[in-house]
Structure 1
Amino acid sequence: MTAANEITPFQDPAVRDLAWLLFSPDLLSASHAGAPLAHPAAAARTERDITLTWLAVLDRDPAELHAQVHKPSLTRLGFYAEALLEYFLKHGPDARLIAANVPLRTAERTLGEVDFLLENAQGERLHWELAVKFYLHIGEGDGVATLAHYVGPNLQDRFDLKHARLLHHQLGLSARDEFASLGFDGPWRAELFVKGRLFYRDGDLSRTSNPPPELACDHLRGWWKTASEWRDSKAGGLFASLPRLGWMAERALSAQESEALVEQAAMLTERVAALSSPIMVARYECVPGNVWREHSRGFIVPDDWPERAADFANSNGRATG
Structure 2
Amino acid sequence: MNSLRPAALSAALSAAFPAALPAAPWDALREPAVRDLAWLLFSADLLRAQPPVGMLASAFETADELNATLDWLHALDADPLDLQRDLASARLTRLGRYAECLLGWFLQHGPAARLIAANVPLRRAGLTLGECDFLVQTQTGRRLHWELAVKCYLHAGAGRAQLADYVGPNLQDRFDLKLAHVLDHQLPLSAREEFASLGHAGPWEPQMFIKGWLFYPHGETTDDPAQIDPTHTRGWWAARSSWPAFAADHAQAWRILPRLEWLAPRRHEAGAAEAAGLAFVEAGALSERVAHQNGPTMVAAFHLDDAGRWVERSRGFIVPDDWPQKAQAFARQ
TM-score (norm 2): 0.87
Counterpart check, 1:201 vs 2:220:
no
1:277 CA displacement: 1.0
Structure 1 Cα separation of the partners of residues 183 and 89 of structure 2: 30
Name which of 45, 58, 63 aligns with 1:26: 45
Name which of 232, 236, 248 aligns with 1:223: 236
Q: Is the 8 A contact 2:134 2:146 kept in 1?
A: yes
Distance 1:33 1:247, change over 3 A: farther
Counterpart check, 1:150 vs 2:169:
no
How many residue pairs match? The answer is: 309
Distance 1:105 1:262, change over 3 A: closer
1:269 CA displacement: 2.4
Structure 1 Cα separation of the partners of residues 227 and 300 of structure 2: 27
Name which of 253, 267, 271 aligns with 1:256: 271
> Any unmatched runs of 5+ in structure 1?
316-321
Distance 1:98 1:264, change over 3 A: farther
Structure 1 Cα separation of the partners of residues 190 and 53 of structure 2: 17
> Any unmatched runs of 5+ in structure 2?
1-12, 15-21
Structure 2 Cα separation of the partners of residues 7 and 135 of structure 1: 23
Q: Which residue is 1:285 aligned to?
A: 303
Q: Is the 8 A contact 1:4 1:24 kept in 2?
A: no
Q: Which amino acid aligns with 2:228?
A: L
Structure 1 Cα separation of the partners of residues 272 and 219 of structure 2: 27
Name which of 120, 137, 140 aligns with 2:138: 120
1:257 CA displacement: 5.3
Structure 2 Cα separation of the partners of residues 32 and 126 of structure 1: 16
Structure 1 Cα separation of the partners of residues 161 and 177 of structure 2: 15
Name which of 127, 131, 135 aligns with 1:109: 127
Structural RMSD (CA): 2.0
Counterpart check, 1:66 vs 2:84:
yes
Q: Which residue is 2:178 aligned to?
A: 162
Q: Is the 8 A contact 2:53 2:187 kept in 1?
A: no
Tell which deviates more after alignment, 10-19 or 286-295: 286-295
Q: Is the 8 A contact 2:53 2:206 kept in 1?
A: no
TM-score (norm 1): 0.91
Counterpart check, 1:183 vs 2:183:
no
Distance 1:295 1:148, change over 3 A: same
Q: Pairwise mapping of residues 9-88 of structure 1 onto structure 2 (< 5 A)?
A: 9-30=28-49, 35-42=54-61, 44-71=62-89, 73-88=91-106
Name which of 95, 103, 106 aligns with 2:113: 95
Counterpart check, 1:174 vs 2:174:
no
Superposed CA deviations along residues 210-246 of structure 1, whole A, max 9, x for unmatched, are x211000100000000111112322153211001000
SS, match of residue 253 in structure 1: strand
SS, match of residue 228 in structure 1: coil
Q: Is the 8 A contact 2:157 2:331 kept in 1?
A: no
Aligned-residue identity in percent? 53
1:73 CA displacement: 3.3
SS, match of residue 114 in structure 1: strand
1:12 CA displacement: 0.5
SS, match of residue 41 in structure 1: coil
Tell which deviates more after alignment, 217-226 or 291-300: 291-300
